[in-house]
Chain A
Amino acid sequence: MTVTDPNPSTRPAQAVPGERFASPFAVETPPGAEGWESMYPYYALLSQERAEFEDGKFWFFDGMHNPEPLYPFDTIMTENWWVAASQMSTRVWPVPPAGGIDHRIINGYLYISPNAVTDPDEIARRAEEFSLRAGHYYENWDEIYEQWVAKATGCIERLKAIHFAPLPEQEPLESVLRHKGTYSTYDLLTKYGELTANLFEMGSYHFEMLNLGYGAYLTFQEFCQAAFPGITDQTLAAMVSGIDIMLFRPDDEVRGLAKLAVELELADLVLDGENPDDVLAAIAAHPNGPQWIEAFEGAKDPWFWFSTGAGYTHSDRAWIDDLRLPFTALRGYVKSLLGGADIRRPLDEILAERTRITAEYRGYLPTEADQEVFDGLVELARKVFPFVENHNFYVEHWHHSLFWSKVRELGDVFVAHDFLDDREDIFYLHRNEIYSALYDLNIGWATGTEARGVTYWRPEIARRKRIRDVLKAHPPQPALGVPPEFITEPLTVMLWGITQESVQEWLGAKGEEGGELRGVAASAGKATGRARVIVDPEDLHLVQDGEILVCRITAPSWAPVFSRLSAAVSDVGGIMAHTAIVCREYGLPAVVGTGFATTTIRTGQLIEVDGNTGVVRVVEEAQA
């Protein structure tokens, strides 16, 4: 039965189970969060002018990179890839059937919608151009990757060189004697310009090779799935993945430091202290201490520029900001060593296993032609994989963590000039507002008159904090709008784990409280334990031994916490999500991309996680 709405423009479509999700316009602002739109730029918001287009599209929540309502400043990351990822598919290659990826912010949460090219003639035209351009990259991959590493590290070095300091009481005498001509106000604005430009530069490198890398892997994956139906994603990754992945390096460094601590008879000092600063001080005072401290400092840069999250929000702190994380791991490894365990990663065995399984599958292919194609695809996938795996450390961990630390430096400038109480408050300003605020600050400094910002920003930030807290307490729906007929766009499938099946699951799954959740089997094994739902990384310390982490996104670099878990479940993420790779390394059963885990599972419930089949089941309600 259909009821014709007399005035459809004022009555947005509601969800129809099995058919469509609610219109993005049907999402209501939670009470107390009115005016949230003012935190974000106009182009990222839904609008009446574009309502028809926006209403007809399929939007899914990008909880993988941004599990929480966006901080106004942190939109620099999402806006960056909005352009940088999209332009690769549309203007640089172009990818024959893929368009750009649209973004909208709804109730503070980021929703994205990949565009597809469907006209066969246009796809054919694009394919020709694509072959020429992408072919060049594949043919010269190693050389281009080498250049990429140089560009990325150059970008990081230039970021490191940017420093922010409060404006001086008086311009230094030297500026005058050297006839400098431009002064601290100019430097402050210029450096801020450099800071944002540096982020956009790295953002561009981020996607230079990424889609091509994913495409090569996906082709290999699909061929194997056709040849060996049911072959698991872990097995496919094991055939291609390297052992010298940079993402494993921070943990390897900690293992090395643990070994050195034991050798230098510093184990007791490591185990005794809870606070890293105390431990470091105690070690420094020990006769053998300086040698260890030197090794520790060497490991820290760059390996502790390692985000505890996906690196897309400033709230994902890096190890270097919070040494408690690597020190927890350090204590664990020291204990293992004292207990006689071998904590080295068994690299030879991992490589031998990779060789064995690749050769065996090859042997099971039906014809020589298939084996030949398999060989070529494995080789190509292995060639692109170092970039696919390592870009993550260069970009999301090293560069982004450093970037956030520079923004905090700028936050200190605003605190020094009495605009803000706390350096962290800078993240409540959009990057364009910061430009204005800096100009305001310069005016106040230049004129000697109190800047407007001194009285303007504190109440505004207090308002934004209240709004964001309300938004955070209202988790987003996983998808909105009208689902497409087919979901085959490589990034959507590989990175976000959004497939035909998951969309169908979401369409059908309504109010299945305490039932069964299905997701992507990301790491093999089965475990039962009490659920610990974590939506805010700051609550990670609540995790108890043996619990199962339920989060919006699996965060591999929460390593120290992972060692306490018996399994992990996430709302969003695919098998190739940055984090799934590392999750497997820790040998933890994991189901990702469940859509609803954090909203249906409650802390304390006894749940069963089957990392082989991707099923999460509530076994028993929480104990009173």
Chain B
Amino acid sequence: MTPAVSRFVLWLDDPGAVGNRVLGGKFGSLAEMTAARFEVPPGFGITTTAYRHFLESAGLAERARAVRAEAGGADLADVQRISAEFAAAIDDADLPADLEREIRDAYAELERRAGQEDLPVAVRSSGESEDLAGASFAGQYDTFLWIRGAEDLLRHVRRCWAGMFGAAVLTYRPDADAGVLTADLGICVGVQQMVQARAAGVMFTLDPVTGDRSKVVIEGCWGLGEGVVSGGITPSRYVVDKVTFEVIRREVARQESKFGFDPAAAAVGLVPVETDRQESPCLDDDQIRALAELAKRIEQHRGGPQDVEWAVGERGDVRVLQVRPETVWSRRRAEQLVGERKSAVNHVLARFAGVGVARGSRGTGA
């Protein structure tokens, strides 16, 4: 690969972004979605190359490997101590000038594209580890919302890097694959324009409870999706038929507070939901359909069940914030529904005698 424009910053809409591992899992997927013309908020990744360059130039690379190895066998209190010490070291280290300049330039470019100074952005970790089968590291990496200005951005980039050595990450053990923990995995820091979400949430291209692939299940709430993702707000839930897009079930939850930008605190936090919205569904029927169609297209594009983070702007515009392969049902061996393989006529005759086709189902009179 030629170090074309930059080694440290790669835009989501850069032709070289698709399939480029320097964006990590999350941002790599978003680059792919951007290239496929899905509505992804504009942004750039501060690449894994940038992260490694920082560790090398700050003289922290060797210590990083040691921290990982040490955490592998330590008890939780020790892991927390090791983690905190290393985070402090990252905070104190100097940022290489070339790297800092590129980040500042990229942020300025994003401001220019959006036509807004001090553009609020989301800063999110995007780990190389996310590409590893069976290790989603879901919820282990950091996301910072409504970050404004280059100084603030730079501070949060460091926090994302430090997050690689958070206690949760150091002890995350998916399927006891110890190799994952000690591997020298890099991290990309994604920077994206904030979506001023009217409503947001997650959706699955199958029913996560039953594994039924003919459904899209949407969970959403008023405001930013953090409430749904972190589980702090009870979302409204919509089950949509993926073939006909009929809404098969709706469970609308009453919602009094939402995640949003709190001007008083100058940060994202819990704010009240507008009174007239508290009892109302956060999505109308058109938006539900638009989301379900989007989920289906994403699944078709990615060739398998996905979960998708989404947001709907005040004007009803739908945005894709994150896509991830669904990890539970796709790893499980598909369970056969029919109790017995026999001809359709024999199934019908059996049904008349009280035996249903599907395993364990009851027919007449049984």
Q: Which residues of A contact B (CB under 8 A)?
A: 95-98, 116-118, 123-124, 126-127, 130-131, 134-135, 138-139, 215-216, 218-219, 222-223, 226-232, 235, 356-357, 360-361, 364-367, 369-370, 372-373, 376-377, 379-380, 486, 488-490, 524, 612
Contact = CB atoms under 8 A, between A and B. Distances in A.
Interface in B231-263: 239, 241-244, 246-249
Given A97-B352, A117-B365, A226-B337, 20 more contacts: A96-B365, A127-B352, A130-B353, A131-B349, A229-B210, A231-B241, A232-B246, A235-B244, A364-B212, A366-B213, A370-B337, A372-B341, A373-B357, A376-B344, A379-B344, A486-B365, A488-B362, A488-B363, A490-B352, A612-B246
Given A357-B244, A366-B334, A127 B344 contact: no
Contacts of A219: 344, 347-348, 351, 356-357
Q: Would you call the interface of chain B mostly helix, strand, loop, or mixed?
A: loop
A222 B357 contact: yes
Contacts of B341: 369, 372-373
Nearest to A353: B244
A226 B358 contact: yes
Shortest 7 CB-CB distances between A and B: which pairs? A97-B365, A376-B344, A226-B358, A366-B334, A127-B353, A230-B248, A364-B213
A360 B243 CA distance: 7
21 contacts: A97-B354, A116-B365, A123-B354, A127-B349, A131-B349, A222-B363, A223-B358, A226-B337, A229-B210, A235-B244, A356-B243, A360-B243, A364-B242, A367-B335, A367-B337, A370-B337, A373-B347, A377-B344, A377-B357, A488-B366, A490-B364
A232 B344 contact: no
Contacts of B213: 364, 366
B214 interface: yes
B9 to A, nearest CB: 41
B156 interface: no
A491 to B, nearest CB: 10
Interface residues on B, range: 35 or more
A380 B362 contact: no
B347 A376 contact: yes
A227 B337 contact: yes
B330 to A, nearest CB: 12
Contacts of A379: 344
A535 to B, nearest CB: 32
B358 A227 contact: yes
B120 to A, nearest CB: 38
A600 to B, nearest CB: 25
Contacts, number: 153
A486 to B, nearest CB: 7
A370 B239 CA distance: 23
B211 interface: yes
Contacts of A524: 246
B239 to A, nearest CB: 6
Contact of A373 (B243, B338, B351, B362): B338
B361 interface: yes
Given A127-B353, A219-B357, A364-B213, A380 B338 contact: no
B215 interface: yes
A219 B350 CA distance: 9
A126 B241 CA distance: 39
B354 A365 contact: no
Contacts of A215: 348, 351-352
B208 to A, nearest CB: 13
Contacts of A376: 343-344, 347
B242 A367 contact: no
Contacts of A366: 211, 213, 334-337
Contacts of A117: 365
Contact of A135 (B207, B349, B351): B349
B214 to A, nearest CB: 4
B345 interface: yes
A361 B214 contact: yes
A230 B239 contact: yes
Contacts of A95: 352
Q: Which of A131, A226, A373, A380 has the most CB of B within 10 A?
A: A373
Nearest to A222: B356
A216 B365 contact: no
Contacts of A230: 215, 239, 241, 248-249
A127 B349 CA distance: 8
A222 B351 contact: yes
B68 to A, nearest CB: 40
Nearest to A141: B345
A232 B244 contact: yes
Contacts of A138: 345, 348-349
A623 B122 CA distance: 54
Given A97-B364, A127-B353, A230-B249, A369 B358 contact: no
A232 B212 contact: no
Contacts of A367: 334-337
A196 B102 CA distance: 95
A98 B362 CA distance: 15
A486 B362 CA distance: 11
Contacts of B249: 230
Q: Which of A118, A124, A231 has the most CB of B within 10 A?
A: A231
A231 B248 CA distance: 7
Nearest to B239: A230
Contacts of B244: 232, 235, 357
A357 to B, nearest CB: 5
Nearest to A367: B336
Contacts of A489: 364-365
Given A357-B244, A367-B334, A377-B347, A226 B352 contact: no
Nearest to B360: A226
Contacts of B365: 96-98, 116-118, 123, 486, 488-489
Nearest to B362: A488
